[in-house]
Each structure stands twice: as structure tokens, then as C-alpha cells.
Amino acid sequence: MKKILLLLLLFAFCDTEAQLLFQDDFSPYTVDQELSGQGPWSNSPIAPNVGIGACLPLSAGQPCSGAKVVAQPLSYLNYGTASKSIVIASVQDGVARAINPVVTNGDLYVGMVLKLSSAPLSSASPVDFLRIINSDPTQVAFRMLVVDAGFGYNIGIRKGASANATAYSSNLCNYGDDVLVILKYSNLDGANDDVVSVFVNPDYNSGEPLTPSATTAAGFDQNGAIDRLAFRLNYNVAASMPTGYAGLVSVSTTWEGLSFDPLSVNQFEANPIKVSSFLDRGMLQISSANTSTNAQLKVYSATGSLLENTIQTIPSGHSQIALQSKLETGLYFIQITEETGKKHLFKIISK
């Protein structure tokens, strides 16, 4: 009973921190192989029920290839750097992964870096290549697409059904550039008032801009429980789809939680101590506004079991601490108690 109460307490405190739902820089995956079947990604619409169906060949009897992992680097200042990405193109199997825990309220942020070489003309009726999907496989919470703008392209967002209006960003994205795109979905109380926004090439470290690059609330809310992110690449009209690469995919309930960089400046302004959401080879990445001597560090399992209890000196700035416990893949909780008695609680994921 005490462990259950402790776990509930940890969840209550951790909800005030940046909640990272998942990140993927594709680094563990094999180049020149399909993304589907690597890690948690799948093109199956049945099990584990995260896919969005097989692709449609250009003509009967022709094969469809799956979206491949490639050695195409991507990066964006203060957001992340990756040596691999996936190919964006038409006539490929759609591939998706689960969002866990399922999001039923509040804000949801989705970040990624695009490097596109072409975008469909407006006359080609551009279609979405990214979908954030409800637990009902027929319901899409929001979508992203792009349209050619002459010397570059614009990012489009659409809420819910395909027939809803698309809002395009005024920011012109250059072909061949690494472009940071952050989508925000705000769950509101009414039946048709949820809002989807997009931020294109923001100064990530300065925090969420006051004004999005585009925003829309048009259409009925098709969101009950968001549980999947899907690259929908199975469209068989090549002229309606972009080509290029995508990577550094991140989903969080806060802007600050998206970054792949272990600790950005804005991540510890509100709280003097911050911990990266991922454990890096057994090393805990910490950022502190002040030096904290004799800080107590505790590590808990997801069931509330105390796994580690040590005294540490946490210097100001960025540092890392080697955990004594060998943590298996999964969710853990870190509690840091300063000498003053002030406690800081964080969720971390061991990969």
C-alpha cells in the first residue's frame, strides 16, 4: 500500500515537469532497411494496432516498398542532432508508433526536423503525410502537409477530418534546409473547439512563441484518446506528396520536453534543477542553476520500489552522475533532495 501511495505521489509531482512521451532519432536502427519492424515502429493495422494500412501501388500487381532508414543527418540548434532519418515519399507503406500514455486532455506537442527536396503544387491537391491518430483508427486528431510556394514550401495543418480547412504557415521553408516543425494540439472542453497550431523554425531555446506560424480550430474535434503518430506515406498519387527526409521525432506534453539536447537553458529557468528525460548509458544528465552539496538522490522503479539512495554533489551548470543501479528498459523516477530539504521529482526513461 505504501508503494502504491508513493507511486501516486510521484506521478502527481512529475506532472508538473516536462512530460516526454517519446523521442526517436532513429540511431538504433539499420540503414537501408524499412523502418517498420525496427524498434516500436510498425505498418501493421492489426497488431500492435498502430499501423495505418498497406500502401496502394500505382497499378495492380506492383509492389510497395516501406519507408527506409537512411544515413541522412539532420540537426537544429538547441533541439537536436541525428545521423539518421527516414525517407519521405509517396507509394510506401505507412508506418506508425504508439503514444504512451494515451493523451486525453491538455496540450500535446509534436516536434520533428524536415529536409524536403520537393513539395506538391496546390493544383495537385496536397495530402497529409503525418497523422496524429485517435484510439479509434478511423479518427485523426490532426494532420500535417506541405505545399510548394515557388522558391520553397509552406507547412499546412488540418484538424480532424480530411474535408476540414487547412491552415498554412506564412514562413517560407527552403528546399534542402533542415527545418524544425513543432505542432501543438490543445484539448478544450467543447465538441469543436480544439486548436492545432504549428511553429516553423522557432528559436527553440527561447520557449514557445506567443504567436504560432499558423493555427486553426476549424472542424469537429476527432480526439478522444490520442495514441499514435503515423507517417502516412501510402498515398498512390506521387504529385500530391512531398519528397525528402524526416527525423528527430519527439512527442511531449510541454514545449521544453521535446528537445533531444540533454539540457537547454530554458529547461531549468523555472526550476533550479533539471534532469534529462532519458538515461544515457547509465549516466544521469543534470543541469543546475546552483551548486548543491550533499544532495540526496533516490531512484525508484515504476512500482515504487527504492532502487538507489546516494549522496551527491551537484555542481552548477551541466553535469552527469553515474547511477549505481543497472536499470532495465522502462520508466523510472528520480528524486533529488537539496540540503535545504527542497525536493525535485522527475520521470526518466531507460532505453
Q: Which residue has the higher pLDDT, 168 or 40?
A: 168
Q: State phi, psi for 75 to the nearest 5 degrees.
A: -160, 160
Q: Using CA atoms, how far apart are residues 157 and 10, in angstroms rounded to an integer?
A: 36
CA gap 137, 80 in Å, rounded: 31
- Mean pLDDT score across all residues of the chain: 83
Nearest to 154 by CA among 168, 167, 143: 168
In terms of pLDDT, which residue wins out, 276 or 89?
89
Question: Phi first, then psi: what are they for 125, rounded to 5°?
Answer: 55, 75
Nearest Cα to Cα of residue 322 among 272, 289, 281, 292: 281
Confidence of residue 327 (pLDDT cuts 50, 70, 90): confident
Distance CA 88, CA 74 (A): 14
In the numeric block, the cell 506532472 is attached to 15
Say which amino acid occupies 268. Answer: F
pLDDT band for 264, please (50, 70, 90 cuts): very low
pLDDT at residue 57, as a whole number: 60
Grid look-up 504529385 returns 239
Tell me the three cell numbers of residue 259. Answer: 528537445
pLDDT digits (tens, 9 = 90+) for 53-90: 556 666 666 666 778 999 999 999 999 999 999 999 98
**Predicted confidence band at 9 (pLDDT cuts at 50, 70, 90)?**
very low
- Which of 13-27, 76-90, 181-195, 312-326 comes out lowest in average pLDDT? 13-27
Q: CA 349 to CA 351: how far, in whole Å?
A: 6
Average pLDDT over residues 321-325: 87
pLDDT category, 199, cuts 50, 70, 90?
Answer: very high
Q: What digits encode the pLDDT tens for the residues 153-195?
A: 999 999 988 889 999 999 999 999 999 999 999 988 777 888 9
Single-letter amino acid code for the residue at 252: S
| Euclidean distance between CA atoms 145 and 157, whole angstroms | 6
**pLDDT of 31 above 90:** yes
Dihedral of CA 290/292/295/299: which sign?
positive
Mean pLDDT of 327-342: 84
How far is 43 from 50, CA to CA, in rounded Å? 7
Peptide bond preceding 45 in cis form (omega within 30 of 0): no
Higher pLDDT among residues 118 and 315, named by residue: 118
* pLDDT-derived band at 16, boundaries 50, 70, 90: very low
Phi, psi of 267, deg, nearest 5: -80, -10
pLDDT tens for 95-111 read 888 888 888 888 999 99
- Single-letter amino acid, residue 201: N
